[in-house]
Amino acid sequence: MRVGKGLTGSLILAALIAGLAGCSPGESRVVQGNRDGVLYLGNGTEPQSLDPHVLSSSPDARIAGALHEALINYNPYDLSAEPGAAERWEFNDDRSEITFHLNPKARWSNGDPVTAEDFRWSWMRAITPEMGNLLVEVFYGIRNAQAYSKGEIDDPDAVGIRIIDPHTLRVELAFPDPFALLNFAYVYMAPVHRATIEAHGSMTDRYSAWTKPENFVGNGPFTLEEWKMQRFVKVKRNTYYWDNDNVALNAMVFRPIESATTEEKMFRSGQLHSASMVPNNKVAGYREQPDSPMVEGPYMGSYYYLLNSDRPPLDNLSVRRALALAVDRKTLASTVLQDTVLPSTNYVALGMPDYEHPQVLAFDPIEARRLLSEAGYPNGEGFPSLTLNYNTSENHRSVAVAVQQMWNKHLNIDVTLANQEWKVYLDTIDNRDYQIARMGWIGDIAPGIFLDRMVSDGPTNRSGFASAEFDNIIFNKIRPEKDQAKILALYQEAERILLEETPLIPIYSYKVKRLAQPSVKGLPSNQTDYINYKYVELDPKAPAWTWQNPES
């Protein structure tokens, strides 16, 4: 939650709780929600957009995942593919095409049928250059989608999206990707309701009134009921949803809370069923709790510092590598972050199945000092001003302060820290108006989800990194290859090139770390932190969790 200056943490918490009107006297929001089937979630920050072709952050995607449904869903326990808007699908013999058979019962939240044309129109919208879709790369597995998105071709019929009949959609693939099916489960590939979009603006308007509650039409298990800026987003059950009988919740309320301390206090006071953040100084205490509500597990995500390699002194490779080699990730993970992350020198998340991570940027302060001297700054002398940007979060600040101190200790340089709220921060990154910036990338169980975006003209490659050798591997070696083992080896080679050029500094791989009330069922930890809201239910008899003091 973003708040004005001068409010203390206790006043912020009091204001938040006071704003949750409607509970019976002495009854927490969790207890009321358990009874009424309403889930209350901490969601990190105010969403920038709920349009699946505009959004680009995890908090936005968590809400969008309730409102929009792609062709495929995942089982949250084992990440196996399950029917979404498509009830079944099959590949052709050479796996160059996928045919999706839509569920004839699928409906939009206004009762309109969901059709193959809805997907075709929506996907063409998503890849139209004027749309400015930051995650357009998820569509690049479709034949000619990349060329169309870059304006290299302008014939929509050249894009490999074919309508066979109102409920059958055929996708012609750009290359024989063994991981191709993964993309069709992303909310970024969900359809949007054409009539609603066009009633409130043009096809490619990035922000229009169609996402307001009174106008919204979606095809997910929930629909938008209320959006109070900086307070909450409430979604309610979509009674037209094809699988409504298997949706247990009646509603969900997403709270934008940027402070991990505030969110944890709201969880402990019974105002949230789930908190997306745990303050570092609370981790040990939660681990010691009997029947601890803290959920931990592996996660396909990487936390790193993005370097603007077009700006001095970061245009010097020796400077970039010196900064990377001066970060003691193991100490950072064990002390500052309480072993809730995996220290990593890799951009591709640790734990990637069947993938061998190249080792390039291990902690080496002696080599770091040599490189800085080679760049013309012996013992840090004459080193120019450098600023590290991060978005509002106690955890981000803790990491930034630790890294700032490491650079001072090992390189004798001073780096300024700059904090920005989320929307301002996104603009800073998008406009490349930064030197060093905190970033995270949440992927899937395929290394291309991380590495494909770092090609020279990738829309989310905002570092200035450009390598003909790297691009050649991605476009000309990997894409024609059918053997998965060879593909993984080629991605390993590509990551080595990336790390040697050092347009980013890997810090750690994420682990799932959140709090969940004992009443919440169907919200397991998984490698992608994927939530299938159809699985989530609340035990109406469960009390709100309370902290157990071992000394009492």
Share of residues in the chain with pLDDT > 70 (%): 95
pLDDT in tens, 182-200: 899 999 999 999 999 999 9
11 pLDDT higher than 70:
no
pLDDT in tens, 319-350: 999 999 999 999 999 999 989 899 999 999 99
For 57, 411, 460, the CA distances from 440, given in Å and listed in that order, are 9, 25, 12
Whole-angstrom distance, CA of residue 22 vs CA of residue 311: 53
| Burial degree of 537 (CB within 10 A; 0-12, 13-18, 19+) | middle
267 pLDDT higher than 60:
yes
For 301, 405, 500, the CA distances from 324, given in Å and listed in that order, are 19, 14, 10
Q: Catalogue all structural domains in the chain, each as residue range(s) with its CATH number.
A: 69-199 (3.90.76.10), 299-511 (3.10.105.10)
pLDDT in tens, 23-40: 555 789 999 999 999 999
9 pLDDT higher than 80:
no
**Size of the chain in residues:** 552
Contact call for residues 175 and 479 (beta carbons, < 8 A): yes
Q: Tokens 């075709």 sit at which residue?
A: 120
pLDDT of residue 15: 40
